[in-house]
Structure 1
Amino acid sequence: MAEAMAEKAEGVAGFLKGLANPQRLLILCALSEGERSVGELIAETRIAPTSMSQHLAKLKAEGIVDFRRDHRTLHYSISHPAVMELMAVLYIHFCGRQPS
């Protein structure tokens, strides 16, 4: 049992490491309110386009977000259900409100 818990703990730590970045948290705050295009995310978060691309790639690689393509525009959304739950808790404790 301890071995299985250790394996899961390692995976969870990696998952949380993907979230533990101020810029990625800003992106996830925006996405917790609904799908956003890359341009919308840049405008809302004021993260530079090159940094935005790197953060979205990291979130995608971790299975936290997914995207759909509409012609030349990429629209991102949160794909991991645990992230939506975590973001709701973070909103309550640190933003004073729940996401819409």
Structure 2
Amino acid sequence: MTALPVITPDMSEEDMDRMLTNAVTASNFLKAISHEGRLMILCHLVSGEKSVSELEALLSTRQAAVSQQLSRLRLEGLVTPRRDGKTIYYRLADDRPRKMLELVYELFCKDD
């Protein structure tokens, strides 16, 4: 595991700028997953690619609401779309959401 950075009085401006950039990136990621609908979409996509209509059924939510949440996840680079005819499928863009979901599970869902 990587050691957390420590802010010190002698930290260079370049290191502070890098830390701020990383904080902005992390904050945007956390905002993107802070909605229960988006979080549930990511949970479903961990098991593999799903169409918008599959997600609609799994979430018992209207297509417009699912599409709105997918749009935000796509904007943040967390999911990637693929079109097959009229059907659009989504998958996780990388391993960040999976790692985050494992942490959320460990913190909030796993029995002691």
Same topology, TM > 0.5: yes
> Offset at 1:95?
3.8
Instruction: Select the residue among 59, 64, 89 that pairs with 1:50.
Output: 64
1:12 paired with 2:26, answer yes
CA distance in 2, matches of 1:95, 1:75: 28
Does 2:86 align with 1:75? no
In structure 2, what is the Cα distance between the partners aligned to 1:29 and 1:95?
Answer: 13
Establish whether residue 94 from structure 1 lines up as the match of residue 72 from structure 2.
no
Q: Kindly state the Cα deviation for residue 96 of structure 1 after the two structures are TM-superposed.
A: 3.5
SS at the partner of 1:63? coil
Shift of 1:3: 2.3
2:52 is the alignment partner of 1:38:
yes
1:27 to 41, 58, 73: 41
RCO higher in structure (CA 8 A, sep ≥6): 1
CA RMSD of aligned residues (A): 1.5
Q: What is the identity, as a one-letter code, of the residue corresponding to 2:23?
A: A
The residue type equivalent to 1:13 in the other structure is S
Q: Do 1:23 and 1:47's aligned partners in 2 also have CA atoms closer than 8 Å?
A: no
Which structure features the higher share of helix residues? Answer: 1
Q: Which runs of 5+ in 2 are unaligned?
A: 1-14
The structure number with the bigger radius of gyration is 2
- Percent identity between the aligned chains? 34
Count of matched residue positions in the alignment of Structure 1 and Structure 2: 97
Helix, strand or coil for the counterpart of 2:83?
A: strand
CA-CA distance at 1:49 after TM superposition: 1.0
In structure 1, stretches of 5+ residues that fail to align are none
In 2, distance between residues paired with 1:94 and 1:45?
A: 20
